[in-house]
Amino acid sequence: MHKIWLVIKREYLIRIRKKSFIVMTFLGPLLLASVLILPIYLAKNNQEKRNIAVANQKDFTLDDNELLNFVTIPQNEVDNIKTNFEDSPYYALLIIQEDTYCLYSNQQVTLNVVNEIKRQIEYTLKFNNLKKIGIDNQTLKNAEQSIDLVTKIINKEGESTKTHSEVSTGIGFLGGILIYMFIFMYGTMVMRGVIEEKTSRIVEVMISSLRPFQLMMGKIIGVALVGLSQFLLWVIFTVAISALAEMVLLNDVFLNANNIENQSVIITQIKNLTSGINLIQIFISFLFYFLAGYLMYSSLFAAVGSAVDAEADTQQFILPVTLPLILSFILIQPIIDNPEGPLAFWMSIIPFTSPIIMMVRLPFGVDSWQIILSMTILVSTFIMTTWLASKIYRTGILMYGKKASFRELLKWLKY
């Protein structure tokens, strides 16, 4: 046990010290966050308060807001401003006459300014019209109501929970793709590690000190910890960056850009959207399927690595290993379209596809017996593949210069 721990420590440290790991760890969430936040940030920065000169011939009140500042000017200044527009402090000049509303500027007025002015004028007109027929301000305000259309699913117990099918789709897709990415990235990392040990000829020195199985498992577990660290760091950084961004940017931008439903903040939004989806269950399942799926595949990747002398030779062995992975990836969309169908069911039970497909299905709700069955099969398969892989591995790592065939791999199982 002490030796396997030494191997885990080396495999872990050597990888997290790499520049690429550090860069990815910080860059990943930053990239993600910036995709979300940059457009908002840019929009906000462009929205400095603009002064709109208003020459009003009607009884109009326009409300200032974060974007716009309305300055009423006397009629006789209109021509003066029009001729010297460059020098005036105004972004645009709004002239309201009997039935015409006209916005002058020396540049193309942005759409949100136009929309905002249009909305205010229309609102005021509607308000004035209603007032004429005796409906006052308060009655009008009371009459306004915004709603949220709720979709619900009926389950066996007859209870219904609020769902948002777009959100389920999104979470399913994200979970499936993350598992696919992690298994691929870290599985091949294990394979490359094994090949490196072979090509650098350190492996015989190593296994004169410890059993091949210890070396293989040490590597697999070490790389798994690298993957988990990366994932957890991403979660932490993304949450931290989002929280920071919300504090700095979203509060004022969001709240003031849309002046309806002012209390909506991103967190409550997420809470609303994901109600009916068991996020904790999904998170725990994600960790489980990531680990078990990774362990199953990485032992196969290790066996492939041990059977070849160089990464270029891996093609013939790697295809059968990655085929189920790629198949599950392709089938994510059809599974999302029909998450309860027989294809979805079987693929979430078969261990080679279950890590990805079950993650896709989970947000739509899966019976617990299916989850337990799928997990049990996955764990037993992982134990079996690890056992088989270690047999190939311990022979393969000592074979130099020979190109192994599948038949030879089968023979190695018997040594």
CB neighbours of residue 156 within 10 Å: 6
Residue from 14, 114, 125, 236 touching another protein (CB under 8 A): that is 14
Residue from 22, 202, 244, 383 touching another protein (CB under 8 A): that is 202
Which C-beta is closer to another protein: that of 72 or that of 209? 209
Does the protein bind another protein through residue 369 (CB under 8 A)?
Answer: no
Does the protein bind another protein through residue 20 (CB under 8 A)?
Answer: no
In the chain, the amino acid numbered 9 is: K
Which C-beta is closer to another protein: that of 222 or that of 339? 222
DSSP states along 34-83? HHHHHHHHHHHHH---EEEEEEESS-------SSEEEEE--GGGHHHHHH
Judged by CB under 8 A, the stretch of 167-175, 192-200, 249-257, 375-383 that binds another protein is: 192-200
Distances (CA, A) of 196 to 201, 202, 214, 288: 8, 9, 17, 29
Which C-beta is closer to another protein: that of 83 or that of 209? 209
Token code pair at residue 24:
């990815």
Beta bridge partners of 102: 95
Please answer whether residues 316 and 326 qualify as being in contact, where contact means their C-beta atoms are separated by less than 8 angstroms: no
Token code pair at residue 231:
């994932």
Beta bridge partners of 153: 161
Which C-beta is closer to another protein: that of 44 or that of 219? 219
Judged by CB under 8 A, the stretch of 6-14, 41-49, 143-151, 355-363 that binds another protein is: 6-14
Q: Residues with Cβ < 8 Å from 251, sequence gap 6 or more?
A: 265
d(CA 293, CA 388): 16
> Under rule CB under 8 A, how many of the chain's residues touch another protein?
22
For tokens 């007109």, the residue is: 125
Q: How far is the CB of 228 from another protein (least distance, A)?
A: 22
Residue from 122, 204, 337, 367 touching another protein (CB under 8 A): that is 204
Please answer whether residues 68 and 116 qualify as being in contact, where contact means their C-beta atoms are separated by less than 8 angstroms: yes
Give the distance, in angstroms, between the CA of residue 309 and the centroid of all CA atoms in the same chain: 37
Q: How far is the CB of 210 from another protein (least distance, A)?
A: 6
d(CA 195, CA 303): 10
Restricting to residues 377-406, which ones interact with another protein according to CB under 8 A?
398, 400
Q: How far is the CB of 186 from another protein (least distance, A)?
A: 18
Does the protein bind another protein through residue 201 (CB under 8 A)?
Answer: yes
Does the protein bind another protein through residue 196 (CB under 8 A)?
Answer: yes
Judged by CB under 8 A, the stretch of 2-10, 31-39, 155-163, 235-243 that binds another protein is: 2-10
Which residues form the interface with another protein (CB under 8 A)?
3, 6-7, 10, 14, 196-197, 200-202, 204-210, 398, 400, 411, 414-415
